């Protein structure tokens, strides 16, 4: 029962917290129960409205909640015990914080009614999590519980989304309290009336005139523009603009559209497409923060005539100078911009030559990506093409930090937002499987394909047990190259060596068997269709599946090459000379 519906009465603290979670839109909590939150688990079990999910490690709780919200689902709640539960979950909270994903961190606290020192788990938890959260709350009395949780949930999802944290002292859970629903009703109503940042009319007019005055505009979209996805094709066509995206924004503009450019427009963009991007004389950066990863280490050049639109006032102009800084909700801005362009009677430009050039460039890129198969290995191009051919439209994909992300970004073609979940600015290994579990809980029955690195799987692979227990439609494709592939690639590029990057050749089938999940291997392009069809049949039957993919990482991604191109010239010339001499000397010795 929601907090505003709970009748006036005398309730244990756990009942009040569970009601507040339901009012906040939480459908599931993820964690491991402990002595401090027994009452909450009891209340959730009795109310049967917010489902508690047992996981294997609190590290995964943050990633699961991230995947739930990043995929367009409800707000996820990481429900952890004090002390170690909080420190374990921090990686997922950091990922959500840096990638702008809402997560509610609910932790217990030590008893505040006890005079004794050195209680179990007695650390300043909120001081630990505060740098990774938009806000923190610690109710000291029962009547503060509901406002704390509702405000935390609202803040997590408003403006630039991110994690928030609430610490409930154990004594508030333990004892029963008088409860009046009137304040909760008033707060829920007030939160529902809070405004969203709207675009200034004069600024919209100014940006419209700038874009209309350009010969070839560029629109660059991030996850912050996801809610405007359905309006972006019309905008691009009205302006005759090419459209690129960040990693997180992949699919915000359909990659099947003739005006789609690439996930990026700088040094990490294929040369054929980079040439087209370089011809753009104006840019609209929409819901894109222009961070290090999405720009391949700041390897982009933004035209002087540019506008950056973001809900976060600190974003516009933070990394690249822009002529116009706009603080607004992306959808509201795009709708206002479209209305302005129509009032200006903007005629649609002829883009036939542009779309032909884009199509030719994409064909050339596909031909470059289609590397010949290596004996005993699977080529990335064949893997991603087969996966999208066999799994149905609407399938969601998750990746881990490293090659899996860069390959997925470059090979997948998505026509909708929030269908590639990748750890970007915090770049956590171990993200892919738990995030897929979150997406599967948020969208029951829809397949989720995991591209997990073999090193990253060692961190959170036991969450296969969670997937199997809850019968989630998750196909886990483990990219096995026997090393920490992305780091090894950078090591070899810079030093012609790869120390401490080789992994033990563990038995993936045995690991899957521990979780009660079937595993099949594939070590050639010819076997892909059969094995992926088997995996699809498993997930359609509500059973997770594991595929051991012996991947060929022989061809560097455009991203990897772009990062080197962006960074190497910035080094002092003596350092460049030292690195080149070292790499050459080691190659000769080898």
Residues 70-108 pLDDT 10s: 999 999 999 999 999 999 999 999 999 999 999 999 999
Pairing of strands 9-12, 176-179: antiparallel
Average pLDDT over residues 47-72: 95
Q: CA 571 → CA 291, 345, 568, 575, distances in Å?
A: 20, 49, 6, 6
Q: What is the Cα–Cα distance from 363 to 60, expressed in whole angstroms?
A: 39
How many beta carbons lie within 10 A of that of residue 495, not counting itself?
A: 13
Residue 156 has pLDDT above 70, yes or no: yes
Residues 249-292 pLDDT 10s: 999 999 999 999 999 999 999 999 999 999 999 999 999 999 99
Residue 544 has pLDDT above 90, yes or no: yes
Average pLDDT over residues 343-359: 93
Q: CA 187 → CA 161, 162, 182, 321, 479, distances in Å?
A: 20, 21, 9, 41, 48
Give the torsion sign (CA, 318, 324, 330, 332): positive
Q: What is the Cα–Cα distance from 249 to 65, expressed in whole angstroms?
A: 19
Q: Does domain 370-562 have CATH number 3.40.50.970?
A: yes
Q: Which sequence spans correspond to the domains of the chain?
A: 9-192, 201-359, 370-562
How many Cα atoms within 13 Å fall on the side-chain side of residue 219?
Answer: 32
Q: What is the DSSP string of 246-284?
A: -STTTTSS-TTSTTB--S-SSTTS-HHHHHHHHT--EEE
Long-range CB pairs of 230-234 (<8 Å, 24+ gap) are 231/331, 231/334, 231/335, 231/338, 232/334, 233/257, 233/259, 234/338
Q: What is the DSSP string of 277-303?
A: HHT--EEEEES----TTTTTTT-----
Residue 590 has pLDDT above 70, yes or no: no
Residues 365-423 pLDDT 10s: 999 999 888 888 999 999 999 999 999 999 999 999 988 999 999 999 999 999 999 99
Residues 558-587 pLDDT 10s: 998 898 888 878 888 888 788 778 777 777
Q: CA 400 → CA 79, 267, 521, distances in Å?
A: 23, 22, 20
**CATH code for the domain defined by 9-192:** 3.40.50.970
Residues 472-504 pLDDT 10s: 999 999 999 877 777 777 667 667 777 777 788
Residues comprising the chain, all counted = 590
What are the φ and ψ backbone dihedral angles of 282, each rounded to 5 degrees? -155, 155
Q: What is the Cα–Cα distance from 419 to 466, expressed in whole angstroms?
A: 21
Q: What is the Cα–Cα distance from 13 to 174, expressed in whole angstroms?
A: 6
Check if 9-192 and 201-359 are the same fold: yes
CATH class name, domain 201-359: alpha beta
Residues 118-145 pLDDT 10s: 888 889 999 999 999 999 999 999 999 9
């Amino acid at each position: 029962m929601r907090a505003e519906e709970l009748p006036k009465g005398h309730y244990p603290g756990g009942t009040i917290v569970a009601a507040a979670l339901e009012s906040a839109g939480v459908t599931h909590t993820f964690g491991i129960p402990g002595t401090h939150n027994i009452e909450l688990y009891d209340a959730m079990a009795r109310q049967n409205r917010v489902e508690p999910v047992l996981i294997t490690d609190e590290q995964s709780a943050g990633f699961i909640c991230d995947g739930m919200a990043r995929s367009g689902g409800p707000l996820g709640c990481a429900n952890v015990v004090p002390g170690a539960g909080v420190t374990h979950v921090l990686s997922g909270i950091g990922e959500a914080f840096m990638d702008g994903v809402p997560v509610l961190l609910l932790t217990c606290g030590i008893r505040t009614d006890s005079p004794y020192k050195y209680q179990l788990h007695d650390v300043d938890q909120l001081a630990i999590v505060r740098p990774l959260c938009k806000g923190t709350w610690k109710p000291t009395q029962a009547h503060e519980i509901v406002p704390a949780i509702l405000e935390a949930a609202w803040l997590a999802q408003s403006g630039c989304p991110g994690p928030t944290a609430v610490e409930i002292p154990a004594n508030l859970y333990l004892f029963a309290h008088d409860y009046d629903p009137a304040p909760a009703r008033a707060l829920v109503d007030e939160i529902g009336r809070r405004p969203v940042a709207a675009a200034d009319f004069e600024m919209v007019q100014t940006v419209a005139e700038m874009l209309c005055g350009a010969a070839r505009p560029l629109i660059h979209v991030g996850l912050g523009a996801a809610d405007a996805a359905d309006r972006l094709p019309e905008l691009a066509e009205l302006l005759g603009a090419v459209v690129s995206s960040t990693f997180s924004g992949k699919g915000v503009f359909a990659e099947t559209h003739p005006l789609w450019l690439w996930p990026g427009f700088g040094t990490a963009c294929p040369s054929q497409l980079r040439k087209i991007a370089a011809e753009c004389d104006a840019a609209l950066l929409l819901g894109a923060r222009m961070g290090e990863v999405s720009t391949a280490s700041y390897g982009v050049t933004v035209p002087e005539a540019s506008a950056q639109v973001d809900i976060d006032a600190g974003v516009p102009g933070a990394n690249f100078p822009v002529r116009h800084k706009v603080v607004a909700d992306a959808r509201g801005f795009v709708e206002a911009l479209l209305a302005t362009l129509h009032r200006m009677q903007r005629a649609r430009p002829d883009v036939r030559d542009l779309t032909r050039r884009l199509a030719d460039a994409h064909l050339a890129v596909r031909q470059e990506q289609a590397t010949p198969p290596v004996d005993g290995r699977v080529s990335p191009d064949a893997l991603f093409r087969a996966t999208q051919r066999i799994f149905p439209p609407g399938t969601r994909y998750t990746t881990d930090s490293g090659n899996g992300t860069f390959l997925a970004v470059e090979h997948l073609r998505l026509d909708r937002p929030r269908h590639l979940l990748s750890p970007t600015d915090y770049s956590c290994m171990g993200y892919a499987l738990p995030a897929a579990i979150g997406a599967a809980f948020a969208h029951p029955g829809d397949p989720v394909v995991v591209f997990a690195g073999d090193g990253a799987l060692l961190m959170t692979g036991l969450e296969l047990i969670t997937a199997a227990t809850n019968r989630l439609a998750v196909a886990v494709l483990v990219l096995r190259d026997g090393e920490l592939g992305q780091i090894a690639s950078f090591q070899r590029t810079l030093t012609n060596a790869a120390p401490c990057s080789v992994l033990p050749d563990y038995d993936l089938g045995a690991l899957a068997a521990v979780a009660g999940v079937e595993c099949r291997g594939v070590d050639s392009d010819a076997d892909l269709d059969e094995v992926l069809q088997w995996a699809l049949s498993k997930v359609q039957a509500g059973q997770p599946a594991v595929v051991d993919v012996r991947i060929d990482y022989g061809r560097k991604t455009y991203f990897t090459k772009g990062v080197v191109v962006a960074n190497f010239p910035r080094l002092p010339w003596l350092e460049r000379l030292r690195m080149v001499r070292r790499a050459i000397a080691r190659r000769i010795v080898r």
